[in-house]
Amino acid sequence: MAGGGEAGVDLSRKFVSESELDERRKKRQEEWEKVRKPDDPEEAPEEEYDPRSLFERLQEQKDKKQEEYEEQFKFSGSLSACFSAVIRTFTSVI
């Protein structure tokens, strides 16, 4: 198959041409000029490169959200246990 493998994958979209990179840099520089403060450098900072696969990056985000979710309910669970203890103490006094 032309431009791809046996599965019909278009390999040309996996690569970015130099002209596409230049267009992105120009656009980023224009956006930078709109928000740049006098203290900031004139050139837009380069984008950070993350060598990890998309799966690894998404997995990290998922894990962080899961930890936040568990932390949120861990705190509410401890409050619930505290209130239960107070109520038991209060009812045993009465």
42 and 36 in contact (C-beta within 8 Å)? yes
pLDDT at 3 (0 to 100)? 47
19 and 26 in contact (C-beta within 8 Å)? no
Mean pLDDT of 45-65: 89
pTM of the predicted protein model: 0.39
pLDDT at 58 (0 to 100)? 95
pLDDT in tens, 19-38: 988 898 899 888 888 888 88
